[in-house]
Amino acid sequence: MNTLVSVTSQKTNNAVIKWNLYYIIAIIAVCLIVNVSIRLDYYFLQGIPELSFTETLQGLALVCINLCFYKMIKAPNVGAGSLLVFGFFTALLIRECDFWFDKITHGFWFYPAMFTTLITLGLFSKRGKSGFTEFVNLLRVPAMNKVIVGVIVLIIFSRIFGTGSFWRDVVSQDAFVVKTIIQEGLELLCYCFITIGAWETQQQVNTLNNNECGAL
């Protein structure tokens, strides 16, 4: 009996160690990708324009985030919550693509983003109390904490930290370039962490539903 317990425990320990090693490698890869992208933009594009490595990676990260939450819309117990989060990140994706919408007219991105928001809220409201419960269930998934932290840093910290007037006082030349590199680099880092959190959330939701866990 003791042998069986020790064998099981060893397998569990190995699985935990293996998972954490993969996680560490993924985080290191994210940090390297962000640093490489902003350096490529600076040395080859002399800054971070709309069509840059960093901005493109931000868009790709948002696509991955949306795919994760889109797949969870039909998942039991968290569907309405996933729909709400999906709509939020879809609006963010539209905002990140403002360069293309500005070709129609400046600030045109606001209209499809608002349309997406209204449609999402309309669909969510149709779920009634069950929709709110499913949103709370989604928030109970441990990996959602990473998504929330990433969103807060993305929307609040990076914007305040990247204030142009502050960086003009810090540096005398190329203040806009400096502040853009820092702000966009931080935003890409946030999007990468949110992507990891979104993927983890999807995996944990699948595991909980497959095991018919009563946690949700």
The reply to whether 216 falls in a domain is no
The reply to whether 215 falls in a domain is no
Q: How far is CA 2 from CA 8, 9, 53, 114, in A?
A: 10, 10, 55, 61
Return the pLDDT at 213: 47
Query: What is the domain range of residue 162?
Result: 2-210
> Number of folded domains in the chain?
1
pLDDT digit string, tens, across residues 141-165: 988 988 998 898 888 888 887 777 7
pLDDT digit string, tens, across residues 52-66: 999 999 999 999 999
Could you tell me which residues come within 8 angstroms of residue 194 by beta carbon, excluding any fewer than 6 positions away?
A: 61, 65, 146, 147, 150, 151, 154
pLDDT digit string, tens, across residues 167-206: 777 676 566 777 777 888 888 888 988 998 899 888 888 8
Return the pLDDT at 206: 85
Q: Which residue has the higher pLDDT, 213 or 207?
A: 207
Give the model's confidence band at 36: pLDDT under 50 very low, under 70 low, under 90 confident, else very high: very high
The reply to whether 20 falls in a domain is yes
Which among 50, 160, 138, 44 is positioned nearest to 96, based on CA atoms? Answer: 50
The reply to whether 135 falls in a domain is yes
